[in-house]
Amino acid sequence: MAGPVTDTNTLRALRGLEHDDPSVRLRAAMAVGSRPHPGFVGGLVERCAVEPEFTVRETLTWALTRHEPAQTVPLLLDELRADGAQARSQALHTLSKIGDRRAWPAITPALLADADDEVARSAWRAAVVLVPEGGERALAVVLAAQLGRGGHGTRLSLSRALIALGEAMLPTLDAATTDPDPRVRAHALATERLWRDPDSGFEFAIEEAKRTAVLGEGRQEGR
What is the structure's pLDDT at 92? 98
Task: Determine the pLDDT at residue 2.
Answer: 45
- Half-sphere exposure at residue 111, Cβ-oriented, CA atoms within 13 angstroms: 29
* 209 Cβ contact partners less than 8 Å away, ≥ 6 residues apart: 185, 186, 187, 188, 189, 190, 193
* C-alpha span between 13 and 76 (Å, rounded): 21
Question: Averaging pLDDT over each range in 73-77, 149-153, 215-219, which range is the top one?
Answer: 73-77
Closest CA to 122 of 102, 141, 103: 103
Q: Where are the domains of the chain?
A: 131-223
Give the pLDDT score at 4.
Answer: 56
pLDDT attached to residue 69: 97
CA 168 to CA 5: how far, in whole Å? 47
pLDDT at 36 over 80: yes
pLDDT value at 101 more than 50: yes
What pLDDT shows up at residue 220? 47
pLDDT tens readout for residues 174-206: 999 999 999 999 999 999 999 988 876 656 555
Cα(141)–Cα(136) distance, rounded to whole angstroms?
9
Q: How far apart are CA 108 and CA 204, in angstroms?
A: 32
